[in-house]
Amino acid sequence: MSAQFDKELEERLVRYAQIDTQSEETSATSPSTTHQYDLLNLLVDELATLGAQEVRLTDYGAVLATIPATVATPTPTVAFLAHVDTAPAFNATGVKPLVHHHYDGGDIVLPDAPTAVLSPHEFPYLAEKVGDDIITASGATLLGADDKAGVAIIMTMAHHLLENPDVAHGPIRLCFTPDEEIGRGVHANLPDDLQVDFAYTLDGAELGQIVYETFSAEKATVHIEGVSIHPGNAKDKLVNALHLAAKIIDTLPHVTLTPETTDDRQGFIHIYQMSGTAAEAELNFILRDFELEGLAAKAELIRQVCATIQATEPRAKITCTITQQYRNMRYWLENDMRPVELAREACRQLGIEPFSTPIRGGTDGSRLTEMGVPTPNLFTGMQNIHGPLEWISVQDMARSTELCLKLAQLWAG
């Protein structure tokens, strides 16, 4: 059945990926960047053309729409969500999606960066996709399948349901959010605007993956005020903020507690941005752990390191601010596993073996679940996200589309 969706999914992802939608953490607006509206407004127009109802763009930049029920009996209202923004971590301007039809199992060399090679030996999941249609970028940018693959899947599902009213399903809500990549995808008003009983994000990876456990997350912002003076007259007077920033980084345990040295259920402290001058500097960290105790310990460690460095130089001023981002959705979903179990059942009915592993990240579903809307995460097929080696199989996307359609029917049952 999935072959019927291949062409539409390929066309949608290629077209959506070419639209620059990077989010920007330092922006105070929602969406954080105006060019996210290029895709948001396009989706509004496309949903209206397809015949969706109650299509609107909220004042915080989320697109909402409804596919009315085709059954008369009361059924839960279920939402499907994806985010339109792409990660600020790598260039996403001028994306040139490439479709490698009928992948032959060899290396895929990306033309704009010949040293960027997708090898099935390095990426075993790629070796499983011989014969599939593989979409990559050209090597100079990320692809943006995270999460434009989810957008394409939901739009393809909506197209199919609206063209086939004989498919039995309850009320379905569609939602496309901005700014997920910077932890601001779920606005405080979104749960009330969605008005659903359960939801799913389309933001997962390998075929069959049903996610109900994510990291819990906080952000640490360390601000350092030094003492600025002309370097020619600096003896015993200058306090260099950059030197203190370097000491903080060097004092943190970077051998055992960073993303590149941890895996599985280990958390980490990750410095992802540093800026400033000798007079003033700022360090930005993300803190991740599957358990709140581990997350709290990492926050306390950063505070202690800052206090230690502060004690070595009382003329400086070092402040550490910890900001909550999201929580492990398991804390709530383990109390009501219905949306997870139904997704597993839908997979099995489609001949897909479901599996659930904790993901070392978060989704809009993390926040939505915490806010009262149980929202596990479904696979799309996306791989190597946030970098130039990002890729996805069209056929994985098609199976994800089938899963969404099957879920719509099972909830009606």
pLDDT tens string 124-159: 999 999 999 999 999 999 999 999 999 999 999 999
Question: What is the spatial distance between Cα 75 and Cα 89, in angstroms, rounded to a whole number?
Answer: 41
d(CA 137, CA 144): 9
What is the dihedral angle through the alpha carbons of 307, 308, 311, 317, rounded to the nearest 10 degrees? -40
Span 327-340, average pLDDT: 96
User: With 90 as the cut, is the pLDDT of residue 3 above it?
Assistant: no
* 263 pLDDT above the threshold of 80: yes
pLDDT at 256: 82
In one-letter notation, the amino acid at residue 225 is E
Q: Is the pLDDT of residue 77 over 70?
A: yes
Report the predicted TM-score, pTM, of the whole model to 2 decimal places. 0.92
pLDDT at 2: 58
Q: What is the dihedral of CA 388, 394, 396, 397, to 10 degrees?
A: 100
Residue 336, pLDDT above cutoff 60: yes
pLDDT in tens, 178-189: 999 998 999 999
State residue 405 phi and psi, 5-degree precision.
-65, -40
Q: Which positions are annotated as active-site residues?
A: 85, 180
Q: For each of the domains in the chain, give its residue range(s) and CATH number, in order of start.
A: 3-214+328-412 (3.40.630.10), 216-325 (3.30.70.360)
pLDDT at position 1 over 50: no
What's the whole-number average pLDDT of the chain?
96
Confidence tier at 114 by pLDDT (50, 70, 90): confident
Q: Write the pLDDT tens digit of every residue in 11-60.
A: 999 999 999 999 998 999 999 999 999 999 999 999 999 999 999 999 99
For 224, half-sphere exposure in the C-beta direction (CA atoms, 13 angstrom radius) is 32
